[in-house]
Structure 1
């Protein structure tokens, strides 16, 4: 369980628009615009149940907490017990780490950490910069493989956006939904899907992954959220138990659930190679 002491955060932005950033996990505890909270906060201190956890070097689950990469089998922590799963690994290796503040000013902060874990084949340097700019919250993520071996990589974020009453999700471009024959792990098949044609998606039980879509717009009586993604082609929509009845998790990702095993969206970083991605949240 990952808990967040309230004394361990930085604030970026101004009184009318600011964010609280925790050094542990580079976790975004809250975004506030004109006095209105944008993110559902974790109720029990577990980071993946609120705010915006950052997920590196994998998002969502890795089946049985193991994978084979370049002929070697690796074992990850079986840490999904916080969601009632005692078999798999969930949401990366950096959420429990203390990130170092590299630089900051009133409207921006950059944090850095390193991944050097027996369950991972190489060493990664990970930097994330959060910026409040022109009415938006930006996250820019840069990962470099500083080790000698190739490295598998998926990057994600898990924002829970507060909603009120019915909500709708719009997308600019075509999307496809991943197929889950066992209800948990995708089999590589994709099916055309459209949220644009669904009037009441809040009535659906969503814990689903999609590819494409361009900019995403989440609308409810509470606010309108625009989520733009850079090199994060995948996204998940979650309105299950931890979202409650007052939020939706709209999660940008570079790859699919269990990509370390199924290869969907998996990025392989050569030694010395760098990868960049990010997302922008605009609130109306």
Structure 2
């Protein structure tokens, strides 16, 4: 049944950023199974080639998977990368803005440079690439923009102030775009995953510029599997869902609680130790290890 739904994507040209690992990598596999033509971007070309190889193993034609190495913050390279895709496939139907970086930090200790760096990667890189692609979509009066946000784009997540702000910013940018260009055939899907298995903790920013959190997730963590998240994301794309949330309870419960009863939710968070929320998010108190590093 899943792949009957995804058959509507067969033959579409999809550009995925952040495709070398995590959700982007597994989304590539889900789409490759149903005959999508893929352009894969990230900084690490060797990892992109590995993903391309696996796409071919599960049925993709070699010519249907194009590796386009790209640092999302290298704005002067966006047009060149897009032209490479158009030259190879002749078109682009869907842009998946998936590149991004997480964070673990105490709000009051975050250096301003960390805020700037995260906005460059999580927001401005995605906006710049979208503005490169959008004229092509507008010209043909058709196109689908997919944005990987987060449950942090809907909630005030503790100990990730800069990251949470970047995800809220994405909603602002793309909801504005949705309203402005809805009559021009532009579709927008904003995906809000909760805790998902990936290497995002290892590469997460902290409160200090240039440092990384450097911890791995544990197999016992209460997280959605990367494959399942990618499957649900692919279904949302195929059905042109405007916004979807992907998470286990109690995260999903809190999403609805905050959405429909915002005042009582805020009163609730005021009496709950914020580190208990971190245990729901990371299945342990990850801030304890960060605080130890600081001392």
TM-score, normalised to structure 2, is: 0.31
Q: Which has the higher helix share?
A: 2
> Structure 1 or 2: larger strand share?
1
TM-score (norm 1): 0.32
